[in-house]
Amino acid sequence: MQQAPPHLEAEVNALLTHYPPEQKRSAMLMVLHAVQEQCGCVSDAMIEWVAAKLECQPIHVYECVTFYPMFRRKPVGKYHIKICRTLSCELAGSHKLCDELKKMVGTGMDQTTPDGKFTISWVECLAACGTGPCLTINDDFYEKVTKEKAEQLLANLK
Amino acid sequence: MAAVERKLITARMDQPGYSNRLESYLAAGGYAGLKKALAMKPEEIRAEVMNSGLRGRGGAGFDCGLKWSLVDRKSGKPVYLICNADESEPGTFKDKQIIYKDPHALIEGMVCAAYANGVKTAYIYIRGEFAEGCKILLAAIEEARAKNFVGTNILGSGYSLDIFVHRGAGAYICGEETGLIESLEGKRAYPRFKPPYFPAVFGLWMCPTIVNNVETLCNIPLIVAMGGAEFAKIGTPNNTGTRIMCVSGHVNKPGYYEVELGRITMGELITGLCGGVAGGRKARAIIPGGSSAKVMRCDERFKGRKRDGTEYDWGWQDVPVDFDSVAMIGSMAGSGGVIVLDETADLPKALANIAEFYAHESCGQCTPCREGSLWMAKALRRMTNGRATKGDTDYLKSIADNIPGRTICPFGEACSWPVQSFIEKFRDDFAKLEK
């Protein structure tokens, strides 16, 4: 059985207290977020670990990992740039911005730069329609992103 | 009517120097509604909410007091409250403002609502992309707990409540309340059959459950403070209170505007508050209630008879911003997200964007929606890339016509209404793509 990093174990145990003891499986999404944050992605071994923790079958974990767009089976770059693809941001120029970003970091959609630093992906509506184009870099939100602002953002990422 | 805002919920967050910390909220008179609520009986609060006429601000506009009255209180099972903070309808960004800028307004609303319904445990289901929002809420709950606004024996009342934050993970369907419940139970967010799985009876863990939107809950302390009858004087009959309208697309000042329901027109919202259509151009199409709402054609006259028998003859500018008027002209006020498309907009391209969204977000449970949403997106991809073939417009329409009413949840309608309405109102734009 896969060993989890001790702090992950502690974090997951704390999360489990948020749900009734007979409903451990309910912690699924929170636990998968914690796993992904600590391990970079959700591997087969971690799926088994989560299943044991939540007292369910690995298939129950696997079906969630494949259903929810935020979970990934393979690692991404150190900085995952997700650009809003949806209508209001497109009207505000997100698709042009995306082309510029791809040029700046030198990679295509859903690909990672050879140095492992950047991955660029589309994401559906981020609920910042009035301040598009918007994007997230890991957990951070950026709105009204121009080409200049994007250059600055990238330059600040070490 | 005048193009002015009426800020009840957004009043604090827009003040200079206001922070999302507890001291800001308290200095602005926060948690006074809760103190008053705890001195009342739960059923008295429920009666005030019923009298207020408050309608859900999530999308369906269902009467909040009525929703609460349907809760099965005799089952002997615990009642749960879930705040739906999975804001993901394209065009909508109001709940995010509340969560990031004034989280205690939501927490106070939740404690009031929970107390009124005998809830001991409540969850905030926040969309996964709001990672910072999640941290803000967690910090706010801790602040509130330290001052005994949340937790055990709240303010000495004997009433106790725990609030937990639960993150989603990027699936739009979790905004549908039974899909949300499945997701909170740790499963794929497949919406449930209704009947029998009405959340008020068989909700979270098969217990009676109330699912309310963020903005809806923020109205509860206001109703407690001023009384339901007084609240009902804001706005118009059957459309009471204010609503935070989100405007995006081709306008000069996109953003969120809190207005009294029915006391401002679409024209006043767009040409007044939003500074008009960008570049001084004309509006060609408006999506009035989030991307799933049927599109309005701006050179159309909307005619008919109101519920009270009087006739109306409106241009798009004259349509009052409220639930009933937008429904009368054949669309819906939905989630309050208004997207403006001007005369230069490429409408098939805009529709193609919307269709891609729904194809991506269909949960895949029901065949007509899973396949139909994808076929529509593929057809539109082809049409907007110069590869339309003769009959594509009718083909697209026939797919859209065969989805609604054949799915478990309203996603079937949500993905077909834009296609049906864009083709109905702007057929020429699509037909001219055909070779």
Q: Can you list the domains of chain B with their CATH numbers?
A: 22-232 (3.40.50.11540), 236-342 (3.10.20.600), 347-431 (1.20.1440.230)
B90 touches chain A (CB under 8 A): yes
Give the distance, in angstroms, between the CA of residue B98 and the centroid of all CA atoms in the same chain. Answer: 13
pLDDT tens digit string along A86-126? 999 999 999 999 999 999 999 999 999 999 999 999 999 99
Rounded to an integer, the average pLDDT of B284-299 is 97
Q: Using an 8 Å Cβ cutoff, are A43 and A73 in contact?
A: yes
Residue B236's DSSP bridge partners are B239
Segment B404-413, tens digit of pLDDT: 999 999 999 9
Beta strand B283-287 with B337-342: parallel, antiparallel or unpaired?
antiparallel
pLDDT surpasses 60 at B1: no
Predicted pLDDT at B2? 62
Closest CA–CA distance from residue A125 to any residue of chain B (Å): 6
pTM: 0.97
Examine the pLDDT at A135 and tell me if it is beyond 90.
Answer: yes
Residue B6 is predicted with a pLDDT of: 96
Q: Give the mean model confidence (pLDDT) for residues A26-37.
A: 97
Q: What is the pLDDT of residue B239?
A: 97
d(CA B296, CA B81): 36
* Tens digits of residue pLDDT in B329-368: 999 999 999 999 999 999 999 999 999 999 999 999 999 9
* Interface contact flag, A23 B93, Cβ < 8 Å: no
Nearest by CB to A88, which of B87, B90, B186?
Answer: B90
Nearest CA in chain B to A139: B131
* CATH superfamily, region A79-157: Glutaredoxin (3.40.30.10)
Q: What are phi and psi of A83, to 5 degrees?
A: -105, 135
Chain A residues within 8 A (CB-CB) of chain B? 18-20, 23, 25-30, 32-33, 54, 56, 60, 63-64, 67-71, 85-88, 90-92, 123-132, 136, 139-141
Mean pLDDT of chain B: 96
Residue type, B292: S
Give the nearest partner residue to A33 out of B95, B169, B249, using CB atoms: B169
Average pLDDT over residues B69-97: 96
Instruction: Summarize the confidence of residues B416-433 as an average pLDDT.
Output: 97
- Confidence band of A5 (pLDDT split at 50, 70, 90): confident
Domain ranges of chain A: 6-67, 79-157
Q: Which of A132, A138, A14 lies closest to A70, judged by CA?
A: A138
Helices (H), B155-239: 177-184, 214-226, 228-231
Give the closest-approach CA distance of A153 to chain B in angstroms.
18
pLDDT at A3: 73
Q: How confident is the model over B45-80, as pLDDT tens digits?
A: 999 999 999 999 999 999 999 999 999 999 999 999
Tell me, which fold does domain A6-67 have in CATH? Arc Repressor Mutant, subunit A (1.10.10)
What is the structure's pLDDT at B244?
Answer: 97
* pLDDT at position B138: 98
Task: Evaluate whether B56 touches B216 at the Cβ level (below 8 Å).
Answer: yes
pLDDT reported for residue A78: 96
d(CA B314, CA B298): 11
Q: What is the arithmetic mean of pLDDT over B197-204?
A: 96
Query: Number of helices and strands (H, E) in chain A?
Result: 7, 4
**What pLDDT is attached to residue B307?**
87
pLDDT at position B39 over 90: yes
pLDDT at A1: 56
